[in-house]
């Protein structure tokens, strides 16, 4: 039976297990990660893992939650600044933050992100998508002329997903045909040009 960590030591152990989970999944993939590997990596006995987590799946869930929390925290902190940037730069800024996040921690988050994508796409990308949608809305608030854009929900969905997947895929590619700088610049231009063209097409006549 998994108990709630109430003491300081317990909290540290839970953290160690989650970190071990990231390490193992990054090294061997989700499918090949066993409870024993996680426990060993965390420096504890197998039984102890079950003191804190109901089962293996619960460890993966906690990992997902942790990753989402970190991304969300990072984006929330940056949100106000982002709103004030021109659209292209805003996109670039977000992608740079996101890229740094995935590259950090020995690329473990990146490797886990790839694994998580097809396991549980709703919980994983879901909250992040939601926050990004909010950021888009805030950005529009600061740039009233963008309210003229058509089909904002659909295009937000497309740009957000395209951005997330492109970044994850690019960083995972050992031999990417373009640099990360080119990728972020390209995605930024993509959004920027789209917006510019829409504003042009919907411009009030004379």
Q: Which residues bind DNA (CB under 7 A)?
A: 3, 5-7, 9-10, 13, 32-36, 44-48, 50-52, 55-57
C-beta of 3 vs 169, nearer to DNA: 3
Residues 108 and 100: beta-carbon distance below 8 Å: no
161 contacts a second copy (rule: CB under 8 A)? yes
- Number of Cβ atoms within 10 Å of the Cβ of 74: 15
Q: Which residue's entry shows tokens 């004379």?
A: 206
Q: Where are the extended beta strands (E) located within 45-85?
A: none
How far is the C-alpha of 68 from the C-alpha of 197, rounded, in Å?
34
**Binding status of residue 172 toward a second copy by CB under 8 A:** yes
Nearer to a second copy, 81 or 201 (CB): 201
Q: Is 9 among the residues that bind a second copy (CB under 8 A)?
A: no
Residue of 172, 161, 77 lying closest to 124 (CA atoms): 161
Kindly state the smallest distance separating residue 85's Cβ from a second copy, in Å: 19
Q: Does 159 contact a second copy by CB under 8 A?
A: yes
- Asked if 52 contacts 2 with a C-beta cutoff of 8 angstroms, the reply is yes
| Nearest to a second copy of 15, 93 (CB atom) | 93
| Stated length of the chain | 206
What residues between 126 and 155 interact with a second copy by CB under 8 A?
151, 153-155
State how far Cα 170 lies from the chain centre.
Answer: 14
Contacts of 24 (CB under 8 A, 6+ apart): 33, 37, 38, 41
CB of 142 to a second copy, least distance (A): 22
Nearer to DNA, 12 or 158 (CB): 12
Residues that bind a second copy (CB under 8 A): 30-31, 114-115, 117-118, 121-122, 125, 151, 153-155, 157-159, 161-162, 165-166, 169-170, 172-173, 177-178, 182-183, 185-187, 189-190, 193-194, 196-198, 200
């Amino acid at each position: 039976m998994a108990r709630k960590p109430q003491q300081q030591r317990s909290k540290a152990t839970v953290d160690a297990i989650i970190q071990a989970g990231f390490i193992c999944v990054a090294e061997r993939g989700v499918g090949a990660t066993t409870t024993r590997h996680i426990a060993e990596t965390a420096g504890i006995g197998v039984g102890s893992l079950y003191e804190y987590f109901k089962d293996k799946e619960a460890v993966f869930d906690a990992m997902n939650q942790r990753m989402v929390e970190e991304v969300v925290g990072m984006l929330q902190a940056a949100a106000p600044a982002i709103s004030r940037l021109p659209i292209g730069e805003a996109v670039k800024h977000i992608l740079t933050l996101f890229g740094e996040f995935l590259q950090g921690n020995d690329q473990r988050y990146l490797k886990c992100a790839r694994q998580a994508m097809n396991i549980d796409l709703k919980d994983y990308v879901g909250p992040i998508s939601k926050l990004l949608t909010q950021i888009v809305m805030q950005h529009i608030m600061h740039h009233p002329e963008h309210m003229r854009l058509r089909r904002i929900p659909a295009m937000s969905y497309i740009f957000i997903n395209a951005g997330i997947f492109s970044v994850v895929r690019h960083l995972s590619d050992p031999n990417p045909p373009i640099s990360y700088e080119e990728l972020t610049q390209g995605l930024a231009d993509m959004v920027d040009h789209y917006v510019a063209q829409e504003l042009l097409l919907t411009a009030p006549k004379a």
